[in-house]
Protein backbone atom coordinates (compact mmCIF):
# COMPACT_ATOMS: atom_id res chain seq x y z
CA UNK A 1 0.00 0.00 0.00
CA UNK A 2 1.31 3.43 -0.89
CA UNK A 3 1.53 5.83 2.05
CA UNK A 4 0.65 8.87 -0.02
CA UNK A 5 -1.56 7.75 -2.86
CA UNK A 6 -4.84 7.48 -0.86
CA UNK A 7 -5.57 4.24 -2.74
CA UNK A 8 -6.37 1.18 -0.62
CA UNK A 9 -6.68 -2.11 -2.45
CA UNK A 10 -7.69 -0.30 -5.61
CA UNK A 11 -10.19 2.01 -3.88
CA UNK A 12 -9.77 5.66 -4.85
CA UNK A 13 -12.14 8.04 -2.98
CA UNK A 14 -11.39 10.86 -5.40
CA UNK A 15 -12.64 8.84 -8.35
CA UNK A 16 -15.82 7.85 -6.42
CA UNK A 17 -16.54 11.47 -5.54
CA UNK A 18 -15.91 12.47 -9.11
CA UNK A 19 -18.34 9.83 -10.36
CA UNK A 20 -21.00 10.93 -7.88
CA UNK A 21 -20.57 14.56 -8.88
CA UNK A 22 -20.88 13.59 -12.55
CA UNK A 23 -24.14 11.70 -11.84
CA UNK A 24 -25.56 14.66 -9.90
CA UNK A 25 -24.59 16.99 -12.74
CA UNK A 26 -26.32 14.69 -15.20
CA UNK A 27 -29.52 14.61 -13.12
CA UNK A 28 -29.48 18.38 -12.73
CA UNK A 29 -28.95 18.71 -16.45
CA UNK A 30 -31.97 16.47 -17.13
CA UNK A 31 -34.15 18.57 -14.81
CA UNK A 32 -32.95 21.78 -16.45
CA UNK A 33 -33.63 20.40 -19.92
CA UNK A 34 -37.10 19.23 -18.86
CA UNK A 35 -37.93 22.65 -17.42
CA UNK A 36 -36.73 24.40 -20.57
CA UNK A 37 -38.92 22.09 -22.66
CA UNK A 38 -41.91 22.72 -20.41
CA UNK A 39 -41.30 26.47 -20.53
CA UNK A 40 -41.25 26.42 -24.33
CA UNK A 41 -44.39 24.24 -24.43
CA UNK A 42 -46.34 26.59 -22.14
CA UNK A 43 -45.33 29.63 -24.16
CA UNK A 44 -46.28 27.88 -27.41
CA UNK A 45 -49.84 27.24 -26.18
CA UNK A 46 -50.34 30.84 -25.04
CA UNK A 47 -48.97 31.12 -21.46
CA UNK A 48 -46.58 33.99 -21.99
CA UNK A 49 -44.81 33.67 -18.64
CA UNK A 50 -44.05 29.99 -19.15
CA UNK A 51 -42.96 27.95 -16.12
CA UNK A 52 -42.74 31.00 -13.83
CA UNK A 53 -46.35 31.94 -14.63
CA UNK A 54 -47.43 28.34 -13.99
CA UNK A 55 -45.73 28.24 -10.57
CA UNK A 56 -47.31 31.54 -9.55
CA UNK A 57 -50.74 30.33 -10.70
CA UNK A 58 -50.37 27.06 -8.78
CA UNK A 59 -49.33 28.88 -5.60
CA UNK A 60 -52.30 31.27 -5.76
CA UNK A 61 -54.71 28.49 -6.72
CA UNK A 62 -53.81 26.40 -3.69
CA UNK A 63 -54.27 29.41 -1.43
CA UNK A 64 -57.77 30.02 -2.84
CA UNK A 65 -59.02 26.43 -2.51
CA UNK A 66 -60.25 24.63 0.60
CA UNK A 67 -57.81 22.27 2.26
CA UNK A 68 -57.25 19.13 0.21
CA UNK A 69 -58.26 16.93 3.16
CA UNK A 70 -61.60 18.70 3.42
CA UNK A 71 -62.34 18.14 -0.27
CA UNK A 72 -61.21 14.64 -1.19
CA UNK A 73 -60.42 12.70 1.98
CA UNK A 74 -62.03 9.44 2.97
CA UNK A 75 -64.55 9.48 5.84
CA UNK A 76 -62.58 8.29 8.87
CA UNK A 77 -65.54 6.22 10.10
CA UNK A 78 -65.40 4.20 6.85
CA UNK A 79 -61.72 3.24 7.11
CA UNK A 80 -62.18 0.21 9.41
CA UNK A 81 -64.83 -1.11 7.02
CA UNK A 82 -62.49 -0.53 4.05
CA UNK A 83 -59.76 -2.45 5.89
CA UNK A 84 -62.15 -5.35 6.49
CA UNK A 85 -63.20 -5.22 2.80
CA UNK A 86 -59.59 -5.34 1.63
CA UNK A 87 -58.34 -8.09 3.95
CA UNK A 88 -61.39 -10.28 3.28
CA UNK A 89 -60.84 -10.12 -0.49
CA UNK A 90 -57.02 -10.16 -0.37
CA UNK A 91 -57.14 -13.46 1.55
CA UNK A 92 -58.54 -15.11 -1.61
CA UNK A 93 -55.90 -13.65 -3.94
CA UNK A 94 -53.86 -15.91 -6.22
CA UNK A 95 -51.21 -14.88 -8.73
CA UNK A 96 -49.56 -11.49 -9.14
CA UNK A 97 -49.83 -8.46 -11.41
CA UNK A 98 -52.06 -8.96 -14.43
CA UNK A 99 -52.47 -12.63 -13.47
CA UNK A 100 -54.06 -11.75 -10.09
CA UNK A 101 -57.34 -13.55 -9.38
CA UNK A 102 -59.75 -13.14 -6.47
CA UNK A 103 -62.76 -15.16 -5.35
CA UNK A 104 -65.65 -13.35 -7.01
CA UNK A 105 -68.30 -14.60 -4.56
CA UNK A 106 -66.28 -13.39 -1.57
CA UNK A 107 -65.66 -10.06 -3.33
CA UNK A 108 -69.37 -9.54 -4.03
CA UNK A 109 -70.37 -10.29 -0.45
CA UNK A 110 -67.67 -8.01 0.99
CA UNK A 111 -68.50 -5.26 -1.50
CA UNK A 112 -72.20 -5.36 -0.61
CA UNK A 113 -71.35 -5.10 3.08
CA UNK A 114 -68.97 -2.16 2.53
CA UNK A 115 -71.51 -0.36 0.34
CA UNK A 116 -74.08 -0.58 3.15
CA UNK A 117 -71.74 1.56 5.28
CA UNK A 118 -71.01 3.91 2.35
CA UNK A 119 -74.71 4.60 1.86
CA UNK A 120 -74.92 5.81 5.46
CA UNK A 121 -71.59 7.64 5.86
CA UNK A 122 -70.61 8.83 2.36
CA UNK A 123 -73.79 8.74 0.24
CA UNK A 124 -73.54 9.22 -3.51
CA UNK A 125 -74.67 12.62 -4.77
CA UNK A 126 -75.55 13.68 -8.28
CA UNK A 127 -74.15 16.99 -9.51
CA UNK A 128 -76.88 17.54 -12.08
CA UNK A 129 -75.36 20.53 -13.84
CA UNK A 130 -72.33 21.50 -15.91
CA UNK A 131 -69.47 22.81 -13.78
CA UNK A 132 -65.88 23.95 -14.14
CA UNK A 133 -65.16 23.49 -17.86
CA UNK A 134 -61.41 24.22 -17.99
CA UNK A 135 -59.48 26.19 -20.59
CA UNK A 136 -56.41 24.68 -22.25
CA UNK A 137 -54.24 27.08 -20.23
CA UNK A 138 -55.79 25.89 -16.96
CA UNK A 139 -55.32 22.28 -18.02
CA UNK A 140 -51.65 22.86 -18.80
CA UNK A 141 -50.99 24.44 -15.40
CA UNK A 142 -53.13 21.97 -13.45
CA UNK A 143 -51.76 18.82 -15.08
CA UNK A 144 -48.27 20.21 -14.46
CA UNK A 145 -45.14 18.71 -16.09
CA UNK A 146 -47.03 15.80 -17.68
CA UNK A 147 -48.70 18.24 -20.06
CA UNK A 148 -45.64 18.08 -22.32
CA UNK A 149 -47.22 14.87 -23.64
CA UNK A 150 -49.64 17.17 -25.45
CA UNK A 151 -53.27 18.32 -25.59
CA UNK A 152 -56.17 16.95 -27.61
CA UNK A 153 -58.94 18.97 -29.25
CA UNK A 154 -62.61 18.20 -29.86
CA UNK A 155 -62.81 20.41 -32.93
CA UNK A 156 -60.22 20.72 -35.70
CA UNK A 157 -60.50 24.53 -35.45
CA UNK A 158 -58.90 24.36 -31.98
CA UNK A 159 -55.69 22.80 -33.28
CA UNK A 160 -53.34 25.77 -32.94
CA UNK A 161 -49.99 24.05 -33.41
CA UNK A 162 -48.08 20.77 -33.05
CA UNK A 163 -48.92 20.50 -29.35
CA UNK A 164 -52.63 19.96 -30.10
CA UNK A 165 -53.80 16.58 -31.40
CA UNK A 166 -56.97 16.08 -33.43
CA UNK A 167 -58.20 12.57 -32.59
CA UNK A 168 -59.76 10.63 -35.50
CA UNK A 169 -63.45 9.73 -35.17
CA UNK A 170 -63.86 6.16 -34.00
CA UNK A 171 -60.36 5.85 -32.54
CA UNK A 172 -60.45 3.48 -29.55
CA UNK A 173 -59.27 5.39 -26.50
CA UNK A 174 -59.51 5.30 -22.71
CA UNK A 175 -60.80 8.36 -20.87
CA UNK A 176 -60.49 9.41 -17.22
CA UNK A 177 -59.87 12.50 -15.09
CA UNK A 178 -56.36 13.69 -14.23
CA UNK A 179 -56.02 13.20 -10.47
CA UNK A 180 -53.32 15.81 -9.80
CA UNK A 181 -55.25 18.56 -11.57
CA UNK A 182 -58.52 18.13 -9.67
CA UNK A 183 -57.09 17.18 -6.27
CA UNK A 184 -54.72 20.11 -5.95
CA UNK A 185 -56.08 22.77 -8.30
CA UNK A 186 -59.80 21.96 -8.86
CA UNK A 187 -59.14 21.65 -12.60
CA UNK A 188 -61.15 18.81 -14.15
CA UNK A 189 -58.99 17.79 -17.11
CA UNK A 190 -59.77 14.77 -19.27
CA UNK A 191 -56.89 12.34 -19.78
CA UNK A 192 -57.21 10.47 -23.06
CA UNK A 193 -54.97 7.43 -23.58
CA UNK A 194 -54.41 5.56 -26.82
CA UNK A 195 -52.83 2.11 -26.71
CA UNK A 196 -53.21 1.22 -30.37
CA UNK A 197 -51.04 3.96 -31.84
CA UNK A 198 -53.67 4.66 -34.51
CA UNK A 199 -54.83 7.89 -32.88
CA UNK A 200 -51.64 8.87 -31.01
CA UNK A 201 -49.24 7.23 -28.63
CA UNK A 202 -49.60 7.53 -24.86
CA UNK A 203 -51.74 10.19 -23.15
CA UNK A 204 -53.10 13.61 -24.11
CA UNK A 205 -55.11 16.11 -22.06
CA UNK A 206 -58.28 17.96 -23.00
CA UNK A 207 -61.44 19.80 -21.97
CA UNK A 208 -64.13 17.20 -22.59
CA UNK A 209 -64.76 13.85 -24.24
CA UNK A 210 -67.51 11.97 -25.99
CA UNK A 211 -67.25 8.20 -26.55
CA UNK A 212 -69.55 5.54 -28.00
CA UNK A 213 -69.81 1.77 -27.38
CA UNK A 214 -68.30 2.32 -23.95
CA UNK A 215 -67.09 -0.25 -21.44
CA UNK A 216 -65.70 0.23 -17.93
CA UNK A 217 -63.00 -2.46 -17.75
CA UNK A 218 -61.50 -3.46 -14.39
CA UNK A 219 -59.22 -6.37 -13.50
CA UNK A 220 -59.10 -8.27 -10.21
CA UNK A 221 -55.76 -6.62 -9.47
CA UNK A 222 -57.33 -3.16 -10.01
CA UNK A 223 -60.24 -4.04 -7.72
CA UNK A 224 -57.81 -4.85 -4.91
CA UNK A 225 -55.84 -1.68 -5.62
CA UNK A 226 -59.01 0.42 -5.50
CA UNK A 227 -60.03 -1.05 -2.14
CA UNK A 228 -56.57 -0.26 -0.77
CA UNK A 229 -57.04 3.38 -1.83
CA UNK A 230 -60.24 3.42 0.27
CA UNK A 231 -58.21 2.48 3.35
CA UNK A 232 -56.07 5.64 2.79
CA UNK A 233 -52.36 6.15 3.43
CA UNK A 234 -51.88 6.51 7.22
CA UNK A 235 -53.98 3.38 7.82
CA UNK A 236 -52.12 1.13 5.40
CA UNK A 237 -53.68 2.32 2.17
CA UNK A 238 -52.23 4.09 -0.85
CA UNK A 239 -52.81 7.51 -2.46
CA UNK A 240 -55.36 7.89 -5.23
CA UNK A 241 -53.96 6.61 -8.52
CA UNK A 242 -55.45 6.13 -11.98
CA UNK A 243 -57.12 2.75 -12.45
CA UNK A 244 -60.70 3.42 -13.58
CA UNK A 245 -61.20 4.25 -17.25
CA UNK A 246 -64.00 4.50 -19.79
CA UNK A 247 -63.05 2.76 -23.03
CA UNK A 248 -64.77 3.46 -26.33
CA UNK A 249 -64.73 5.07 -29.76
CA UNK A 250 -63.90 8.78 -29.75
CA UNK A 251 -66.42 11.18 -31.32
CA UNK A 252 -65.18 14.61 -32.37
CA UNK A 253 -67.74 17.08 -31.06
CA UNK A 254 -67.15 20.77 -30.22
CA UNK A 255 -67.34 21.43 -26.47
CA UNK A 256 -70.28 23.85 -26.90
CA UNK A 257 -72.25 21.13 -28.67
CA UNK A 258 -71.39 18.63 -25.94
CA UNK A 259 -72.62 21.12 -23.33
CA UNK A 260 -75.96 21.39 -25.17
CA UNK A 261 -76.19 17.60 -25.41
CA UNK A 262 -75.46 17.22 -21.71
CA UNK A 263 -78.13 19.78 -20.78
CA UNK A 264 -80.65 17.68 -22.71
CA UNK A 265 -79.30 14.48 -21.16
CA UNK A 266 -80.05 15.80 -17.66
CA UNK A 267 -83.74 15.69 -18.61
CA UNK A 268 -83.77 12.45 -20.58
CA UNK A 269 -84.79 9.06 -19.15
CA UNK A 270 -82.20 7.37 -21.39
CA UNK A 271 -79.27 9.13 -19.73
CA UNK A 272 -77.95 8.86 -16.18
CA UNK A 273 -75.10 10.53 -14.29
CA UNK A 274 -72.36 8.02 -13.47
CA UNK A 275 -69.22 8.05 -11.38
CA UNK A 276 -66.42 6.06 -9.79
CA UNK A 277 -64.78 6.78 -6.46
CA UNK A 278 -62.73 4.09 -4.67
CA UNK A 279 -63.86 5.50 -1.32
CA UNK A 280 -67.40 4.46 -2.29
CA UNK A 281 -67.01 1.55 -4.70
CA UNK A 282 -64.12 0.01 -6.71
CA UNK A 283 -66.30 0.03 -9.85
CA UNK A 284 -68.38 2.49 -11.89
CA UNK A 285 -71.91 3.12 -10.66
CA UNK A 286 -75.08 5.04 -11.48
CA UNK A 287 -75.36 8.04 -9.20
CA UNK A 288 -79.15 7.93 -9.00
CA UNK A 289 -79.39 4.37 -7.67
CA UNK A 290 -75.80 3.38 -6.80
CA UNK A 291 -76.06 0.31 -9.04
CA UNK A 292 -72.85 -1.00 -10.58
CA UNK A 293 -72.51 -0.68 -14.35
CA UNK A 294 -70.29 -2.32 -16.94
CA UNK A 295 -70.94 -0.25 -20.05
CA UNK A 296 -73.05 2.25 -21.96
CA UNK A 297 -73.99 3.12 -25.52
CA UNK A 298 -72.43 6.57 -25.13
CA UNK A 299 -70.83 8.89 -22.56
CA UNK A 300 -70.27 12.64 -22.42
CA UNK A 301 -67.60 13.82 -19.99
CA UNK A 302 -67.39 17.53 -19.11
CA UNK A 303 -65.61 18.69 -15.97
CA UNK A 304 -66.55 16.49 -12.99
CA UNK A 305 -69.77 15.29 -14.67
CA UNK A 306 -70.14 12.15 -16.78
CA UNK A 307 -73.50 11.37 -18.36
CA UNK A 308 -74.06 7.91 -19.84
CA UNK A 309 -76.72 6.72 -22.26
CA UNK A 310 -78.39 3.31 -21.92
CA UNK A 311 -76.13 1.96 -19.20
CA UNK A 312 -76.06 -1.77 -18.60
CA UNK A 313 -74.75 -4.28 -16.09
CA UNK A 314 -72.61 -7.38 -16.58
CA UNK A 315 -74.83 -8.70 -19.36
CA UNK A 316 -76.61 -6.67 -22.06
CA UNK A 317 -79.63 -8.94 -21.69
CA UNK A 318 -79.79 -8.27 -17.94
CA UNK A 319 -79.05 -4.60 -17.79
CA UNK A 320 -79.75 -1.72 -15.45
CA UNK A 321 -81.48 0.46 -18.00
CA UNK A 322 -85.07 -0.30 -16.92
CA UNK A 323 -84.38 1.29 -13.54
CA UNK A 324 -83.99 4.64 -15.31
CA UNK A 325 -86.20 4.39 -18.41
CA UNK A 326 -88.89 2.97 -16.15
CA UNK A 327 -87.56 4.25 -12.83
CA UNK A 328 -90.57 3.20 -10.80
CA UNK A 329 -90.38 -0.58 -10.91
CA UNK A 330 -90.97 -0.68 -7.14
CA UNK A 331 -94.48 -1.31 -5.83
CA UNK A 332 -96.62 1.21 -4.00
CA UNK A 333 -95.34 1.04 -0.40
CA UNK A 334 -95.54 2.88 2.88
CA UNK A 335 -92.28 4.63 1.92
CA UNK A 336 -94.07 6.64 -0.75
CA UNK A 337 -93.97 10.45 -0.75
CA UNK A 338 -97.23 11.65 -2.28
CA UNK A 339 -97.08 14.78 -4.41
CA UNK A 340 -100.62 14.54 -5.78
CA UNK A 341 -103.81 12.58 -5.03
CA UNK A 342 -106.74 13.66 -7.19
CA UNK A 343 -109.01 10.80 -6.12
CA UNK A 344 -108.35 8.83 -9.29
CA UNK A 345 -104.58 8.92 -9.64
CA UNK A 346 -101.67 9.21 -7.23
CA UNK A 347 -98.38 10.81 -8.26
CA UNK A 348 -95.70 9.90 -5.77
CA UNK A 349 -92.01 9.31 -5.25
CA UNK A 350 -90.19 6.53 -3.43
CA UNK A 351 -87.61 7.71 -0.90
CA UNK A 352 -84.81 5.94 -2.79
CA UNK A 353 -85.20 8.32 -5.73
CA UNK A 354 -85.54 11.58 -3.83
CA UNK A 355 -81.93 12.67 -4.34
CA UNK A 356 -80.71 16.08 -3.27
CA UNK A 357 -78.40 17.20 -6.07
CA UNK A 358 -74.94 18.31 -5.02
CA UNK A 359 -74.48 22.12 -5.21
CA UNK A 360 -78.29 22.60 -5.26
CA UNK A 361 -79.65 25.54 -3.28
CA UNK A 362 -82.93 27.25 -2.48
CA UNK A 363 -84.39 28.82 -5.62
CA UNK A 364 -82.72 26.34 -7.98
CA UNK A 365 -84.71 24.48 -10.63
CA UNK A 366 -84.43 20.68 -10.67
CA UNK A 367 -86.08 17.68 -12.31
CA UNK A 368 -87.57 14.92 -10.15
CA UNK A 369 -89.03 11.55 -11.28
CA UNK A 370 -92.40 10.31 -9.98
CA UNK A 371 -94.57 7.22 -10.31
CA UNK A 372 -98.15 7.46 -11.51
CA UNK A 373 -100.43 5.01 -9.69
CA UNK A 374 -104.04 4.04 -10.16
CA UNK A 375 -105.50 4.85 -6.74
CA UNK A 376 -108.01 2.02 -6.69
CA UNK A 377 -105.66 -0.84 -7.61
CA UNK A 378 -102.44 0.75 -6.25
CA UNK A 379 -100.77 -0.44 -9.46
CA UNK A 380 -98.21 1.68 -11.26
CA UNK A 381 -99.55 2.85 -14.62
CA UNK A 382 -96.75 5.18 -15.75
CA UNK A 383 -94.16 7.72 -14.76
CA UNK A 384 -93.44 11.42 -15.13
CA UNK A 385 -90.44 13.72 -14.66
CA UNK A 386 -91.50 17.06 -13.23
CA UNK A 387 -89.53 20.31 -13.25
CA UNK A 388 -89.73 22.03 -9.86
CA UNK A 389 -88.17 24.93 -7.95
CA UNK A 390 -86.63 24.26 -4.56
CA UNK A 391 -88.45 26.42 -2.03
CA UNK A 392 -86.80 25.33 1.22
CA UNK A 393 -83.42 24.15 2.43
CA UNK A 394 -83.93 20.81 0.68
CA UNK A 395 -86.07 19.48 -2.16
CA UNK A 396 -89.65 18.49 -1.39
CA UNK A 397 -92.50 16.88 -3.35
CA UNK A 398 -94.54 20.01 -2.65
CA UNK A 399 -92.02 22.35 -4.33
CA UNK A 400 -93.52 24.61 -7.00
CA UNK A 401 -94.02 22.90 -10.38
CA UNK A 402 -92.77 24.77 -13.46
CA UNK A 403 -92.86 22.11 -16.16
CA UNK A 404 -93.17 18.54 -17.38
CA UNK A 405 -90.01 17.06 -18.87
CA UNK A 406 -91.17 13.54 -19.74
CA UNK A 407 -94.38 11.59 -19.21
CA UNK A 408 -95.23 8.02 -20.12
CA UNK A 409 -98.43 6.03 -19.52
CA UNK A 410 -98.72 2.27 -19.93
CA UNK A 411 -100.85 1.20 -22.92
CA UNK A 412 -103.44 -0.30 -20.57
CA UNK A 413 -103.91 3.05 -18.79
CA UNK A 414 -104.55 5.15 -21.89
CA UNK A 415 -108.01 6.27 -22.88
CA UNK A 416 -110.82 8.00 -20.96
CA UNK A 417 -108.73 11.20 -21.08
CA UNK A 418 -106.33 9.75 -18.49
CA UNK A 419 -103.34 11.66 -19.92
CA UNK A 420 -105.24 14.97 -19.97
CA UNK A 421 -106.47 14.50 -16.40
CA UNK A 422 -102.98 13.71 -15.14
CA UNK A 423 -101.33 16.69 -16.88
CA UNK A 424 -104.02 19.08 -15.67
CA UNK A 425 -103.71 17.70 -12.13
CA UNK A 426 -99.92 18.20 -12.18
CA UNK A 427 -100.34 21.82 -13.27
CA UNK A 428 -103.00 22.33 -10.60
CA UNK A 429 -100.37 21.44 -7.98
CA UNK A 430 -98.96 24.96 -8.42
CA UNK A 431 -101.71 27.48 -9.27
CA UNK A 432 -99.21 30.33 -8.84
CA UNK A 433 -97.31 29.12 -11.94
CA UNK A 434 -98.85 30.86 -14.98
CA UNK A 435 -96.66 29.33 -17.70
CA UNK A 436 -95.64 25.67 -17.74
CA UNK A 437 -92.73 24.33 -19.77
CA UNK A 438 -93.31 21.11 -21.74
CA UNK A 439 -89.97 19.63 -22.80
CA UNK A 440 -88.91 17.04 -25.38
CA UNK A 441 -92.23 16.76 -27.23
CA UNK A 442 -92.19 13.76 -29.55
CA UNK A 443 -93.77 13.96 -33.00
CA UNK A 444 -96.48 11.42 -32.16
CA UNK A 445 -97.49 13.49 -29.09
CA UNK A 446 -97.87 16.86 -30.84
CA UNK A 447 -101.64 16.40 -31.29
CA UNK A 448 -102.12 15.59 -27.61
CA UNK A 449 -100.24 18.67 -26.42
CA UNK A 450 -101.95 20.99 -28.90
CA UNK A 451 -105.36 19.93 -27.57
CA UNK A 452 -104.20 21.13 -24.17
CA UNK A 453 -103.39 24.56 -25.66
CA UNK A 454 -99.63 24.11 -25.86
CA UNK A 455 -97.69 26.58 -28.01
CA UNK A 456 -95.02 24.34 -29.60
CA UNK A 457 -91.73 25.64 -31.00
CA UNK A 458 -88.61 23.98 -32.40
CA UNK A 459 -85.31 24.61 -30.61
CA UNK A 460 -82.07 25.38 -32.42
CA UNK A 461 -81.05 21.76 -31.70
CA UNK A 462 -84.03 20.39 -33.62
CA UNK A 463 -86.07 19.27 -30.61
CA UNK A 464 -89.60 20.48 -29.85
CA UNK A 465 -90.65 22.26 -26.68
CA UNK A 466 -93.86 23.92 -25.62
CA UNK A 467 -95.55 26.35 -23.23
CA UNK A 468 -98.98 26.16 -21.66
CA UNK A 469 -99.89 29.64 -20.48
CA UNK A 470 -102.83 30.65 -18.28
pLDDT digits (tens, 9 = 90+) for 281-328: 999 999 888 889 999 999 999 999 999 999 988 544 333 333 333 333
Between 338 and 76, name the one with better pLDDT: 76
Rounded-to-integer distance, Cα 291 and Cα 201, Å = 34
Q: What is the mean pLDDT of residues 188-196?
A: 89
Alpha-carbon distances of 293 from 98, 141, 299, 311, 318, rounded to whole Å: 22, 33, 13, 7, 11
271 in Cβ contact with 309 (< 8 Å): yes
Q: Is the pLDDT of residue 163 over 90?
A: no
Pairing mode, if any, of strands 295-302 and 208-215?
A: antiparallel
Contacts of 386 (CB under 8 A, 6+ apart): 339, 367, 368, 370, 401, 403, 404, 405, 426
Rounded-to-integer distance, Cα 38 and Cα 241, Å = 23
Between 215 and 371, name the one with better pLDDT: 215
Torsion of CA 291, 70, 299, 179, to 10 degrees: -120
Q: What is the mean pLDDT of residues 146-165?
A: 87
pTM above 0.75, yes or no: no
State the pLDDT at residue 67: 61
Q: What is the mean pLDDT of residues 249-254?
A: 92
Q: Is the pLDDT of residue 204 over 70?
A: yes
Which DSSP letter does residue 86 get? H
Residue 334 pLDDT level (bands cut at 50, 70, 90): very low
Rounded-to-integer distance, Cα 404 and Cα 425, Å = 12
Between 414 and 468, name the one with better pLDDT: 468
State the pLDDT at residue 347: 81
State the pLDDT at residue 107: 93
Q: Is the pLDDT of residue 455 over 60?
A: yes
Residue 408 pLDDT level (bands cut at 50, 70, 90): confident
State the pLDDT at residue 262: 92
Ranges of beta strands (E only) in 352-454 are 365-374, 380-389, 400-409, 435-438
Contacts of 392 (CB under 8 A, 6+ apart): 362, 399
Q: Which of 181, 186, 113 is nearest to 151 (CA)?
A: 181
How far does the chain reach from its first CA to its final CA, in angstroms?
109
Alpha-carbon distances of 74 from 161, 239, 439, rounded to whole Å: 41, 11, 39
State the pLDDT at residue 337: 60
Amino acid sequence: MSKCSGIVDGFNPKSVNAGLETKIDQELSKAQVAEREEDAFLKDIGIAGGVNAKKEWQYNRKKELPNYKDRFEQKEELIPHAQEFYHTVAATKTGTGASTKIDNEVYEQARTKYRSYVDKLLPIQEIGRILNVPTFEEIAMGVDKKVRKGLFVNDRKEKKNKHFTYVPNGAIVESRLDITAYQYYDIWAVTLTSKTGKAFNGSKYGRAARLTNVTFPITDSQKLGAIKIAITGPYGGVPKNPYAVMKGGFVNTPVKDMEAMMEEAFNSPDWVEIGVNPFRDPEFYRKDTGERIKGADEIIQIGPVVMAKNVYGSDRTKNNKPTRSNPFKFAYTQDIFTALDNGEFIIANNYAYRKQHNYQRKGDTYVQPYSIYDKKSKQKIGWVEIEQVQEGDSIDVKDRVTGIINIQLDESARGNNAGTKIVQSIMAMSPETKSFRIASIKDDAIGFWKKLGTNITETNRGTKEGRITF
